[in-house]
């Protein structure tokens, strides 16, 4: 999401589209759909890191993976909620992305998050303190459940109207959709779908 964030913001500004930021718990998506995260599959983890490094270099963005990865992202996610950061939400997200993925700081540490937000001119201590509120914890759970209900299975995901776009490589397709030049608009998608399945993969342990 770090790599997609500046491009999505720029695209929304150019197209006059409202940007609504909805932090969700990635582990919650994985658990719901029965998936492993990229970091849990060593070859995939290596591939994703290389892919991110290539994309960052081409975009002119600094990239340094957070000090610990995977990490407990709950505090970072909760402090990024509109219910916590309010009108400063974009600034909070900016600060966390730049410090965590640009400088390699520990986004799993509440103390580090306070430091990051303070450095961005925000009241880090007050913002992080709000993340302990049961209503804030529930807000993140609800956001994750709502995302699942809309078919979200990974991050970054961008939703325009009811159309879902997943992945850093989908920004161009978001642009096409917003500009009315989506190549699948009006296509009979039902004709592309399979009629069923003739094989079922057995899951491990079953």
CATH fold for domain 4-180: Glutaredoxin (3.40.30)
Long-range CB contacts (< 8 A, 24+ apart) of 65-70?
65/101, 65/104, 66/100, 66/101, 66/104, 66/105, 66/106, 66/107, 66/108, 67/104, 67/105, 67/106, 68/106, 68/108, 69/39, 70/37, 70/39, 70/40
User: With 70 as the cut, is the pLDDT of residue 70 above it?
Assistant: yes
Q: Report residue 160: phi and psi, to 5°.
A: -120, 120
Q: What is the predicted pLDDT for the residue at 58?
A: 94
Q: What is the predicted pLDDT for the residue at 119?
A: 97
Q: What is the predicted pLDDT for the residue at 205?
A: 62
Q: What is the predicted pLDDT for the residue at 111?
A: 97
What is the arithmetic mean of pLDDT over 66-71? 90
Identify the residue with better confidence: 19 or 197: 19
Long-range CB contacts (< 8 A, 24+ apart) of 200-203?
203/34
DSSP category for residue 166 = E
What is the arithmetic mean of pLDDT over 164-188? 94
Q: What is the predicted pLDDT for the residue at 186?
A: 87
What is the arithmetic mean of pLDDT over 79-97? 97
pLDDT band at residue 198 under the 50/70/90 scheme = confident
What is the arithmetic mean of pLDDT over 158-173? 95
Q: What is the predicted pLDDT for the residue at 203?
A: 72
User: With 90 as the cut, is the pLDDT of residue 14 above it?
Assistant: yes
- Of 122, 106, 115, residue with least CA distance to 72: 106
Cα separation, 113 vs 75, in Å, equals 8
Cα separation, 21 vs 91, in Å, equals 12
Count of CB atoms within 10 A of residue 61's CB?
18
pLDDT band at residue 206 under the 50/70/90 scheme = low
Give the gyration radius of the chain's Cα atoms: 18
pLDDT, one tens digit per residue, over 114-138 is 999 999 999 999 999 999 999 999 9
pLDDT band at residue 200 under the 50/70/90 scheme = confident
Cα separation, 192 vs 11, in Å, equals 30
Cα separation, 125 vs 176, in Å, equals 41
- Of 29, 5, 69, residue with least CA distance to 153: 29
The structural domains of the chain, with segments of one domain joined by +, span: 4-180
Q: What is the predicted pLDDT for the residue at 199?
A: 87
pLDDT band at residue 82 under the 50/70/90 scheme = very high
């Amino acid at each position: 999401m770090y790599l997609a964030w500046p491009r999505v913001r720029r695209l929304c500004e150019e197209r006059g589209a409202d940007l609504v930021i909805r932090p969700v718990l990635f582990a919650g998506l994985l658990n719901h759909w029965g998936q492993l995260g990229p970091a849990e599959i060593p070859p995939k983890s290596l591939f994703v890191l290389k892919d991110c490094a290539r994309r960052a270099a081409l975009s002119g963005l600094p990239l340094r993976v957070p000090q610990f990865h995977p990490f407990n992202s709950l505090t970072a996610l909760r402090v990024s909620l509109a219910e916590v950061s309010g009108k400063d939400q974009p600034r909070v997200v900016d600060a966390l992305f730049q410090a965590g993925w640009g400088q390699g700081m520990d986004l799993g540490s509440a103390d580090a998050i306070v430091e990051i937000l303070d450095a961005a001119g925000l009241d880090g201590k007050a913002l992080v303190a709000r993340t302990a509120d049961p209503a804030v914890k529930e807000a993140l759970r609800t956001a994750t459940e709502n995302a699942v209900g809309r078919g979200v299975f990974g991050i970054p995901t961008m939703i325009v109207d009811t159309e879902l776009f997943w992945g850093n490589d989908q920004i161009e397709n978001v642009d096409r959709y917003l500009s009315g030049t989506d190549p699948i608009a009006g296509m009979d998608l039902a004709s592309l779908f399979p009629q069923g399945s003739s094989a079922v993969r057995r899951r491990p342990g079953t």
